Amino acid sequence: MAEEKKERSLTTIIIFVLALIVAFLIGMFVMRFLGQGGEGKKEIAQASPAPQAAQEQGEVLGEEQIKKIESGGAAVKGEENAPVTIVEFSEYQCPYCGKYVMESYPQILEEYGDQIRYIFHDFPLQFHAHAQKMAEAARCAGDQGQYWQMHNLIFENQEEWSGKESVDADIDNFVSQLNLLNKAEFDTCLDSGKYTQVIETDRDLGLEVGVQGTPTFFINGQMLVGAVPFSNFKTIIEAELAK
Give the DSSP letter of residue 169: H
The pLDDT of residue 7 = 54
What pLDDT, in 10s, does the model give residues 173-206? 999 999 998 999 999 999 999 999 999 999 999 9
Query: Nearest 5 degrees, angle CA 78-CA 143-CA 186?
Result: 145
What integer pLDDT is reported at residue 11 of this predicted model? 55
* pLDDT at residue 181, as a whole number: 85
d(Cα 114, Cα 83) in Å, to the nearest integer?
9
pLDDT at residue 72 in the model:
86
Query: With DSSP H G I counted as helix, E B as strand and the rest as coil, what are the percentages for the chain, rounded to 5?
Result: 60, 10, 30
Quote the CATH superfamily of domain 63-241: Glutaredoxin (3.40.30.10)
Residue 89: per-residue pLDDT = 98
pLDDT under 50 in the chain at which residues? 1-2, 5-6, 17, 22, 24, 26-55
Of 100, 169, 185, the residue nearest 133 (C-alpha): 169
Number of other residues whose CB lies within 10 A of the CB of residue 203: 23
